[in-house]
Chain A
């Protein structure tokens, strides 16, 4: 596709469940980012990949959060044992160059933990 694609668009999970969020970046984009956006707030950085290498995971809030990009294209953000405070919109973005360049965002996955 022409843009960044994220799935699912909406996810409802029971507290304690594991979830997996998928991101398909723009073809050829080297850099991939995950952000978390709480209601009424700006996006908060979670993690950054350059190709398949995870170069920065300083924003992951706990060891329940795990991200991978094994072949340097599609990425998955996994949250284990979800908790209510994990409820947010998870945004994926990609860029052709490094982390200083403009980002192309997907529409996000809205996660609700009940």
Chain B
């Protein structure tokens, strides 16, 4: 079963605009991770944010975590055509396995 749920399910924006995706989850977590998946490929790890962290940056990526609302957001600034992909959040709680959400399909329009 999927632990997280991404919102929106699909997003199309113009190149150069910012893209924001949200993830909600159900239980308390140890950490939350974001992954990208290009069509027909495996997943690539983007960022890991721990439960005691509120914000993390990596290049054009910014992730926030609100444990009181059980939600996270991924912001991609100055989007590029190469950012077109599906984005998944994944959570770990306790000693359990990494559980993925349903994903957001992002399309960048050149």
From residue 51 to 86 of chain B, which have CB atoms closer than 8 A to chain A? none
Q: How many residues of chain B get a CB closer than 8 Å to chain A's CBs?
A: 26
Are A91 and B42 in contact, with the CB atoms below 8 A? yes
Give CA–CA (A42, B45) in the complex, Å: 14
Q: How many residues of chain A get a CB closer than 8 Å to chain B's CBs?
A: 24
Number of A-B contacts (CB under 8 A): 59
Q: Name the A residues within 8 Å of B101 (CB-CB).
A: 42
**Closest Cβ–Cβ distance, residue A36 to chain B (whole Å):** 11
Per DSSP, are chain A's interface residues mostly helix, strand or loop, or mixed? loop
Give CA–CA (A43, B4) in the complex, Å: 11
Q: Name the B residues within 8 Å of A104 (CB-CB).
A: 45
With A41-B102, A102-B48 known to touch, is A48 a contact of B42 (CB < 8 Å)? no
Q: Which residue of B lies closest to A92 (CB)?
A: B42
Which of A4, A40, A41, A42 lies at the interface centre, i.e. has the most chain B CB atoms within 10 A of its CB?
A: A42
Give CA–CA (A105, B37) in the complex, Å: 10
Contact with A along B31-45 (1 / 0, CB 8 A): 101010000111111
Are B96 and A42 in contact, with the CB atoms below 8 A? no
**Closest Cβ–Cβ distance, residue A1 to chain B (whole Å):** 13
Give CA–CA (A106, B40) in the complex, Å: 11
- Is the C-beta of B30 less than 8 angstroms from some C-beta in chain A? yes
